[in-house]
């Protein structure tokens, strides 16, 4: 089945917002065997939108629209879709009830305008929005399906995952596509490319490399007449690739590094405390994004000012004065201090120069020192990163989490001996 995307909003056509919804949708559709042949972005002018809908419906079997479903005057998607397809808007009491519940739960007074969202084109099925008030819409026409989704990325994604992808999978039609993403940390893209060059990649499998900061995702996509055949084609390559990449693979598909670290901590019955300077709390923030993380995250200290490093983590003044706040020695004392303070089994520490100011020729911007203490031994690690302040923070956080993961992996091996 060929699909087109129609993303709506003047924030897109004016360039204020980068259109990340389109990329997300194209990727997810590909995973259920639907090829997206065209993406169109238009503003919220009705005439332009109506024309764009009609053009797209003249070409494709699936039209996915995002944006313009909200309660305000510039939300014109459903009215225009109704016009373009010659169907009146029909009031749905169950959507209205959902909107009322949403407002009651928030303890807010229901705004009359919110009820605009209870009208959808005749023949359409509302797709419940688990996060906001604007439902999505599934509208089957004679020779195409139209799906309209909210433009807020979190809401759009929630509806796609829960309602749109399962329906599209059931509809079938396309060839079966099976994908597997191996998520790696700490290995450069070109090294992975060299490994791939040595493995023989079957014709039926496409390989894509998607580098992020200090991480590379390797995505394998197999296309075959049936899902089982696609899986059979994928499996041997995945096995060989996992073997070649070793512990650089931290997880697969939707796994995050912080989830994997959390699972390892739970499996080893360990807890963690984090002392952060340059990362400013990002490591703790990521660790605590995982549901259930209160079982193994004891807490942390953001030791930005040296006084805090001294007072709350007990880093000796002499260490700070002799080696500096960004040094292996300070990182080691921070790791030991936060372990003691939080009562965790493992203390992890990050100190560095995120920039743009504060660098010297001996200690340049991007220099980061890490410390890890398990009560028996304290390890340190030093790295140099490049990029702007936020990029350096993220690379440091990423490296710290991956270092903790590798430590926990070894912990296992040793325990088994």
**Binding positions for its own copies, 128-187, rule CB under 8 A:** 131, 152, 154, 179, 181
Residue 162 DSSP class:
I
Of 232, 222, 239, residue with least CA distance to 182: 239
Minimum distance from residue 91 beta carbon to its own copies (Å):
19
Q: At what angle do helices 389-416 and 257-267 cross, to 10 degrees?
A: 30
Of 161, 157, 72, 89, residue with least CA distance to 123: 89
> Are 331 and 371 in contact, with CB atoms under 8 Å apart?
yes
Which tokens is 112 given? Answer: 């009359």
Q: Is 276 or 336 the residue whose CB approaches its own copies more closely?
A: 276
Q: Is 124 or 177 the residue whose CB approaches its own copies more closely?
A: 177
Q: Give the Cα separation of 301 and 280 in Å (integer).
A: 9
**Binding positions for its own copies, 38-57, rule CB under 8 A:** 38-45, 48, 52, 55
> Are 175 and 159 in contact, with CB atoms under 8 Å apart?
no
> Are 59 and 144 in contact, with CB atoms under 8 Å apart?
no
Q: Is 10 or 125 the residue whose CB approaches its own copies more closely?
A: 10
Helix (H) or strand (E) holding 400: helix 389-416
Q: Is 121 or 300 the residue whose CB approaches its own copies more closely?
A: 300
Find the radius of gyration of the CA atoms of the chain: 26
Number of chain residues interacting with its own copies (CB under 8 A): 111
Of 381, 353, 350, residue with least CA distance to 367: 353
Residues β-bridged to residue 378: 373
Place of tokens 């990362």: 279
Q: Is 18 or 90 the residue whose CB approaches its own copies more closely?
A: 18
> Are 384 and 364 in contact, with CB atoms under 8 Å apart?
yes
**Binding positions for its own copies, 217-256, rule CB under 8 A:** 219, 221
Residues β-bridged to residue 177: 223
**Binding positions for its own copies, 262-321, rule CB under 8 A:** 273-274, 276, 278-285, 287-289, 291-294, 297-305, 307-308, 311-312
**Binding positions for its own copies, 336-395, rule CB under 8 A:** 341-343, 354-358, 384, 386-391, 393
Q: Is 190 or 267 the residue whose CB approaches its own copies more closely?
A: 190
* Burial status of residue 130 (CB atoms within 10 A of its CB: 0-12, 13-18, 19 or more): exposed
Minimum distance from residue 275 beta carbon to its own copies (Å):
10
Minimum distance from residue 179 beta carbon to its own copies (Å):
7
Minimum distance from residue 182 beta carbon to its own copies (Å):
13
Phi, psi of 243 (to 5 degrees): -65, -45
> Are 37 and 31 in contact, with CB atoms under 8 Å apart?
no
Minimum distance from residue 30 beta carbon to its own copies (Å):
6
Minimum distance from residue 123 beta carbon to its own copies (Å):
28
Q: Is 173 or 343 the residue whose CB approaches its own copies more closely?
A: 343
Q: Give the Cα separation of 146 and 64 in Å (integer).
A: 6
Minimum distance from residue 271 beta carbon to its own copies (Å):
8
Which residue among 211, 232, 321, 382 contacts its own copies (CB under 8 A)? 211
Judged by CB under 8 A, the stretch of 118-126, 225-233, 335-343, 374-382 that binds its own copies is 335-343
Query: If binding is defined by CB under 8 A, does position 58 make contact with its own copies?
Result: no
Judged by CB under 8 A, the stretch of 201-209, 240-248, 374-382, 403-411 that binds its own copies is 201-209
Q: Give the Cα separation of 364 and 385 in Å (integer).
A: 10
3-state DSSP call for residue 75? coil
Q: Is 1 or 308 the residue whose CB approaches its own copies more closely?
A: 308
Minimum distance from residue 22 beta carbon to its own copies (Å):
7
Which tokens is 336 given? Answer: 């030991």
Distance of CA 110 to the CA centre of its chain: 33
Minimum distance from residue 255 beta carbon to its own copies (Å):
14
**Binding positions for its own copies, 10-39, rule CB under 8 A:** 10-20, 22-30, 36-39
**Binding positions for its own copies, 93-122, rule CB under 8 A:** 105-108, 111, 113-114
Q: Is 90 or 97 the residue whose CB approaches its own copies more closely?
A: 97
Judged by CB under 8 A, the stretch of 68-76, 85-93, 228-236, 260-268 that binds its own copies is 68-76
């Amino acid at each position: 089945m060929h699909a087109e995307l129609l993303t709506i909003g003047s924030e897109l056509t004016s360039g204020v917002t980068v259109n990340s919804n389109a990329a997300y949708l194209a990727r997810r559709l590909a995973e259920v065997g639907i090829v997206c042949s065209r993406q169109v972005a238009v503003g919220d002018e009705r005439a332009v939108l109506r024309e764009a809908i009609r053009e797209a419906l003249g070409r494709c079997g699936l039209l996915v629209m995002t944006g313009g479903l909200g309660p305000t005057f510039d939300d014109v998607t459903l009215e225009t879709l109704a016009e373009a397809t010659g169907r009146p808007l029909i009031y749905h009491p169950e959507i209205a009830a959902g909107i009322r519940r949403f407002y009651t739960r928030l303890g807010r007074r229901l705004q009359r305008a919110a009820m605009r969202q209870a009208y959808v084109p005749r023949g359409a099925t509302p797709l419940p929005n688990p996060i906001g008030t604007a439902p999505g819409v599934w509208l089957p026409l004679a020779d195409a399906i139209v799906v309209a989704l909210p433009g807020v990325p979190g809401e759009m994604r929630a509806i796609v995952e829960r309602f749109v992808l399962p329906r599209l999978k059931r509809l079938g039609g396309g060839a079966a596509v099976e994908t597997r993403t191996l998520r790696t940390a700490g290995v450069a893209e070109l090294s992975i490319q060299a490994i791939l060059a040595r493995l023989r990649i079957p014709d039926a499998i496409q390989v894509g490399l998607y580098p992020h900061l200090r991480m590379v995702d390797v995505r394998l996509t197999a296309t075959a007449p049936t899902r089982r055949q696609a899986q059979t084609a994928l499996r041997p390559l995945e096995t060989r690739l996992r073997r070649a990449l070793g512990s650089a693979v931290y997880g697969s598909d939707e796994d995050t590094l912080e989830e994997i670290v959390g699972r390892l901590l739970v499996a080893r019955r360990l807890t963690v405390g984090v002392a952060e300077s340059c990362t400013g709390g990002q490591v703790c923030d990521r660790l605590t994004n995982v549901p259930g993380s209160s079982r193994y995250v004891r807490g942390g200290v953001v030791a930005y000012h040296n006084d805090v490093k001294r007072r709350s983590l007990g880093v000796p003044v002499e260490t700070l004065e002799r080696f500096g706040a960004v040094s292996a020695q300070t990182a080691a004392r921070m790791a030991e201090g936060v372990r003691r303070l939080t009562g965790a089994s493992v203390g992890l520490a990050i100190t560095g120069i995120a920039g743009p100011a504060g660098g010297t020729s001996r200690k340049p911007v991007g220099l980061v020192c890490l410390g890890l203490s398990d009560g028996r031994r304290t390890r340190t690690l030093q790295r140099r990163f490049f990029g702007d302040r936020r990029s350096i923070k993220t690379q440091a956080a990423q490296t710290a989490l991956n270092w903790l993961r590798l430590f926990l992996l070894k912990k296992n091996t040793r325990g088994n001996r």
